[in-house]
Amino acid sequence: MNLLEIRTEFVKQSGRYDLVVDATGFANAGADYFINSGQDFLDRQGVVVPESEGKIIRTLFPNEYYVAFQNRCRVIQRVWANNATSRVELEKVGWDELKNLYNIPISEISTGATLYYTPAKLREVDVADKDSSGIFINFTRSDSFDYRGILILPPVDENYDIEIFGKFYQQTLVNDLDENYWSIETPSTLITAALRQLEISYRNVKARREWEGIIDKDLRDLDMDIVEEETTTFSTMGEEYE
């Protein structure tokens, strides 16, 4: 189902026709807020559906050491780097450890094959003087609320493609024909999640929990299918292996 179909069914089940422009075209007048917040709730429930995980690929050029990206990343899991001849998984280190490893000005750090990464602390609170005593490893953004990022060191000595693997929220449903995993594979669960969010707006704890019970059952069934697929015995050339 696309967003318009999800919205139409959500309004019919909830009786909240005030959340659409009219009962003919079912154009959004507030319904999409509950639908999208419902799908975010589903994404956070811990069931790793096929579209939960994804990757970002960015190219670092000589002397660069950070990557920032949007795309609603929930969790950064692994980072790989490759140049024209090799590919390697980077070692994750803590922020403090990375700062201690590279505690000299950026201009004095030797470039080379990248080795380490750490999730960046992008938020700026008051950073006007951050470079007043010298330019050290650091990276912030004034619009950090919409970004995630990583620091990668040492700064690269040639072009590297950086692959960032992680868990991502599903695509936000905006236009009537928009679709995503939940709307296509489990539309009834998405509608139920939207109805749960609606009950939260009423502060109706009992009804919210009832919807959550239905959602939990749906997600358990879905998780069982995913586990079965992952543990299925493969066969190749007449031989079986797991």
Confidence check: pLDDT of 208 > 90: yes
Distance CA 221, CA 218 (A): 5
Q: What strands, in cross-sheet order, belong to the sheet with 91-92? A: 66-69, 148-153, 116-119, 91-92
CA end-to-end distance (rounded Å), the chain: 35
Predicted TM-score of the model (pTM): 0.82
Give the lowest-confidence range in 17-26, 41-50, 54-63.
41-50
Mean pLDDT score, 166-177: 94
Map out the domains of the chain as residue ranges.
Answer: 3-49+173-236, 53-168
Geometric angle at alpha carbon 168, from 162 and 173, rounded to 5°: 125
Say if CB 138 and CB 65 are below 8 A apart: no
pLDDT at 106: 87
**What is the structure's pLDDT at 145?**
75
DSSP 207: H
Of residues 231 and 207, more confidently modeled: 207
27 Cβ contact partners less than 8 Å away, ≥ 6 residues apart: 20, 21, 176
* DSSP β-ladder status, 91-92 and 116-119: parallel
Helix 187-202 to helix 31-43 angle, to the nearest 10 degrees?
Answer: 110
3-state secondary structure of 76: strand
pLDDT at 61: 96
DSSP assignments along 119-182, one per residue:
E---B-SS-TTTTTT---S---BTTGGG-EEEEEESPBSS-EEEEEEEEEPPPPP-STT---HH
Q: Give the model confidence (pLDDT) of 210-238 as tens digits.
A: 999 999 999 998 877 666 666 665 555 55
Whether omega for the bond prior to residue 154 falls within 30 degrees of 0, making it cis, is yes
| Nearest Cα residue to 38 out of 66, 12, 6 | 6
Tell me the C-alpha distance between 190 and 40, whole Å.
10
